Amino acid sequence: MDRNTEINTPNREVRLPDVPVLVASGNQAIWLSAEGEIETTNLREAAVRVNKMPPLVVHRLNIARRLGINPFPAFDLLELYAFIHPAETCLPTARGLAKAVGLIPSADPEEQALALFEAMNILLNNLTGLTGKKRKSAAAVAMVMGQAGWNWAPSVLSAVGLPENKTRFGGLDAWSNLQEWPDFAPESPADDIAVSEFEARARLKELLGDNAEARPQQADFSAMTSHAFVPRNQADAPNIVLAEAGTGTGKTLGYISPASIWAEKNGVAVWISTYTKNLQRQIDDELDRLYPISEEKAQKVVVRKGRENYLCLLNFEEALQGGAAQKSEQISLGLVARWVGATRDGDMVGGDFPSWLMELEGRSRITRLADRRGECIYSACSHYRKCFIEKSTRKARKADIVIANHALVMINAATRPDDPNLPKRYVFDEGHHLFDAADSAFAAHLTGQETAELRRWVAGSDTGRKNRMRGLENRLSDLIGEDEEGQEALQQAIQAARKLPSDGWMSRVREGTPNGAMEEFLVHIRGQVLARCGQPDSPYSVECPAEEFTPEIIPSAQRLDGALKALSTPLTTLAKILLKKLDEEAEELETATRHRIDAAVQGISRRNNLSIMPWRAVLKGLEDTTPEKFVDWLAIDRIGGRDLDLGYYRSYIDPTEPFAEAILKPSHGVVITSATLRDNFEDAESWQSADMRTGTHHLVLPPARVHLPSPFDFAKQTKVIVVTDVRRDHMKEVSSAYRELCLASGGGALGLFTAIWRLRAVHENIRGPLAAAGLDLYAQHQDALDTSTLVDIFREEENSVLLGTDAVRDGVDVPGRSLRLIVFDRMPWPRPDLKHKARKKAFGGSRYDDKLTRLKLKQAYGRLLRREDDFGVFILLDSMMPSRLISAFPPEVEIQRLGLKDAIALTRNFIAEKEQALNKNIIG
What value does the CA radius of gyration of the chain take, rounded to a whole number of Å? 29
Residues that bind ligand SF4 in the complex, under the rule CB under 6 A? 312-314, 371, 376-378, 381, 383-384, 387, 389-390
Nearer to ligand SF4, 178 or 269 (CB): 178
- CA separation for the pair 141, 163 (Å, rounded): 9
| 8 Å CB contact between 750 and 779 | no
Nearer to ligand SF4, 471 or 746 (CB): 471
Beta-bridge partner residues of 777? 801
Contacts of 12 (CB under 8 A, 6+ apart): 128, 158, 159, 161
Q: Which helix (H) or strand (E) holds 514?
A: none
Nearer to ligand SF4, 383 or 847 (CB): 383
Q: State in angstroms the smallest separation of the CB of 177 from ligand SF4.
A: 15
- CA separation for the pair 750, 742 (Å, rounded): 9
Q: Which helix (H) or strand (E) holds 72?
A: none
Nearer to ligand SF4, 66 or 470 (CB): 470
Q: State in angstroms the smallest separation of the CB of 174 from ligand SF4.
A: 13
Nearer to ligand SF4, 346 or 669 (CB): 346
Q: State in angstroms the smallest separation of the CB of 897 from ligand SF4.
A: 57
- CA separation for the pair 48, 454 (Å, rounded): 48
Q: State in angstroms the smallest separation of the CB of 310 from ligand SF4.
A: 7
| 8 Å CB contact between 426 and 412 | no
Nearer to ligand SF4, 318 or 483 (CB): 318
How many residues are there in the chain?
A: 924
HSE-CB for 234 with a 13 A CA cutoff:
8
Nearer to ligand SF4, 377 or 402 (CB): 377
Q: State in angstroms the smallest separation of the CB of 604 from ligand SF4.
A: 16
- Cα–Cα distance list, 712 to 250, 624, 868 (Å): 12, 55, 6
Q: State in angstroms the smallest separation of the CB of 475 from ligand SF4.
A: 9
Q: State in angstroms the smallest separation of the CB of 321 from ligand SF4.
A: 14
- CA separation for the pair 347, 334 (Å, rounded): 17
SS (H, E, C) 794-850: HHHCCCCEEEECHHHHHHCCCCCCCCCEEEECCCCCCCCCHHHHHHHHHCCCHHHHH
Query: Residues 469, 471, 472, CA angle at the centre, nearest 5°?
Result: 155
Nearer to ligand SF4, 592 or 838 (CB): 592
Main-chain phi, psi angles of 504, to 5 degrees: 85, 10
Local structure of 41: helix, strand or coil: strand
Main-chain phi, psi angles of 780, to 5 degrees: -65, 150
Q: State in angstroms the smallest separation of the CB of 390 from ligand SF4.
A: 6
Q: State in angstroms the smallest separation of the CB of 387 from ligand SF4.
A: 3
Q: State in angstroms the smallest separation of the CB of 316 from ligand SF4.
A: 8
Q: State in angstroms the smallest separation of the CB of 385 from ligand SF4.
A: 9
Nearer to ligand SF4, 279 or 387 (CB): 387
Contacts of 899 (CB under 8 A, 6+ apart): 723, 724, 725
- CA separation for the pair 576, 604 (Å, rounded): 10
- CA separation for the pair 689, 852 (Å, rounded): 9
Q: State in angstroms the smallest separation of the CB of 393 from ligand SF4.
A: 10
Sheet holding 301-303, edge to edge: 301-303, 401-405, 270-274, 425-428, 669-674, 239-245, 704-708
Nearer to ligand SF4, 54 or 341 (CB): 341
Nearer to ligand SF4, 207 or 381 (CB): 381
Contacts of 272 (CB under 8 A, 6+ apart): 255, 256, 259, 283, 401, 402, 403, 404, 426, 427, 429
Q: State in angstroms the smallest separation of the CB of 250 from ligand SF4.
A: 38
Nearer to ligand SF4, 215 or 304 (CB): 304
- CA separation for the pair 36, 33 (Å, rounded): 5
Burial of 104 (0-12, 13-18, 19+ CB in 10 A): exposed
- Cα–Cα distance list, 924 to 269, 912, 916 (Å): 47, 18, 12
Q: State in angstroms the smallest separation of the CB of 368 from ligand SF4.
A: 12
Q: State in angstroms the smallest separation of the CB of 377 from ligand SF4.
A: 5
Nearer to ligand SF4, 122 or 599 (CB): 599
Nearer to ligand SF4, 387 or 904 (CB): 387
Nearest partner of 123 among 77, 76, 160, judged by Cα: 77
Nearer to ligand SF4, 378 or 753 (CB): 378
Q: State in angstroms the smallest separation of the CB of 540 from ligand SF4.
A: 37
- Cα–Cα distance list, 711 to 215, 248, 876 (Å): 8, 6, 25
Nearer to ligand SF4, 374 or 527 (CB): 374
Residue 764 CA, chain-centre distance (Å), reads: 27
| 8 Å CB contact between 732 and 758 | no
